[in-house]
Amino acid sequence: MSIIASTDALISSGFAPISLKALNGKAAMLERLDNKYVVDGTVLMQAAGDFADVFDMLEIDGRRAFTYETCYFDDVERRSYFDHHQGRRQRAKIRIRRYVEAGLCFLEVKLKDKRGVTIKKRLDRDPEGFGVLDDVALAFIDKVYRAQYGQAFPHLLSRVLDMRYRRMTLVARQGGERMTIDSGLEFFAGGVRHAVDPSRFILETKSANGNGVADGILRALHQHPTKRCSKYCVATALLNPGTKHNRFLPALRKLGGAPSRPVLLQPSFQ
C-alpha cells in the first residue's frame, strides 16, 4: 500500500459511512461560504476524532478516497487567474472535472455574488469529452454568466492546466455543512509537473455562513484559513515562474514554496 493510500485509510477509519444517495439527499451546498486550510498530517489526525463526532464520510463500494482529475480553462491573458489575484467580485472559474472511480464528468462554472458567496453551476458531460469545450458547454457558460452578471461571457477559452488529487468528503449529520480533504496533489501545464508533498492536505469547509462546526474544530487546534488558496491559482503560479503571485504567497509557502522550475512531465490522463 502506498504512503498516500495508507494515510487515507488511517484518517478515514473513525468515520461512519454515508452513501452517495444519502449525501445527495442533503443540501447540495452549491451556494456557500468556503474556507480553505493547508495542514500537515499530524494536525489532521488530531482533528479527525472531533470531525468524526459530527460528520459522516462518503463511502462508495467500500471506497472512501476518490481520484479527481480536473482541467481548467482560461484566456490568453489568464483573466480568471488575475481576477482572483486582484480579488474581483465579478469573476468566473471554468473547469471540467472527472470523477475517476465513479465514471462521472461535469463542466463546472464557479462565480461570486455581491456578498462574496461562491455560486457553482454544473453540467453533466460525457467522460470521453474531458478537456473539450464544445458548443453545448460554451452556451452553458454564457447562460450562467449572463444570469449572474447581466452580460455575455467575454473571454475566449483554452485548456491551460490539469491537476489530479485524491479527495475524501465529509457531510454533517445535522444541517448541510460539508468538508473535503484533498491530498496527493499533482499539477500539470505546458509539459511540466509539480507534486505537492504528500504530507500536506487541503481542507475546505463549506457552510452557509463561513463559520461552521469544522472551522471551530480547526480553530481549537490553532489553525486558521489560508487566504487565496485556490488550487487553480496556486498551480498556475507554481508552474509559471515569473507570473505575479504575491497574494498567493501564504498558500504557496504551505504547499511547496515559491515558484521554481518544475519537473518536465506530461500527465498520464488526457
The phi and psi torsions of 95 (rounded to 5 degrees) equal -150, 160
| CATH number of the CATH domain containing 125 | 2.40.320.10
**Coil, helix or strand at residue 243:** coil
Find, among 226, 227, 225, 247, the residue nearest to 236 by Cα.
Answer: 247
**Coil, helix or strand at residue 269:** coil
The number of folded domains in the chain is 1
pTM of the model: 0.85
Q: For 166-201, how does the pLDDT look when each residue is reduced to its tens digit (9 = 90+)? A: 999 999 998 788 999 999 999 999 888 889 988 899
Q: Is the model's pLDDT at 159 over the cut of 90?
A: yes
Confidence of residue 205 (pLDDT cuts 50, 70, 90): very high
Q: Which domain holds residue 167?
A: 3-264
Query: What does the pLDDT read at residue 127?
Result: 94
Residue 269 lies in a domain: no
Q: Is the model's pLDDT at 202 over the cut of 60?
A: yes
> Which residues contact residue 25 at a Cβ distance below 8 angstroms, ignoring those fewer than 6 apart?
none
β-strand partners of 47: none
Residue 18 lies in a domain: yes
Residue 270 lies in a domain: no
The phi and psi torsions of 181 (rounded to 5 degrees) equal -125, 115
Helix axes 41-54, 3-12, angle to 10 degrees: 30
Match 475546505 to its residue by C-alpha cell. Answer: 204
Per DSSP, the residues of 124-191 read: E--GGGTT---HHHHHHHHHHHHHHHSS------EEEEEEEEEEEEEEESSSS-EEEEEEEEEEEETT
Query: What does the pLDDT read at residue 257?
Result: 58
Residue 101 lies in a domain: yes
Q: For 26-40, how does the pLDDT look when each residue is reduced to its tens digit (9 = 90+)? A: 755 555 678 999 999
Contact 80, 239 (CB under 8 A): no
What sections of the chain are H helices per DSSP? 3-12, 20-25, 41-54, 79-85, 135-149, 213-220, 231-239, 249-255
Residue 28 lies in a domain: yes
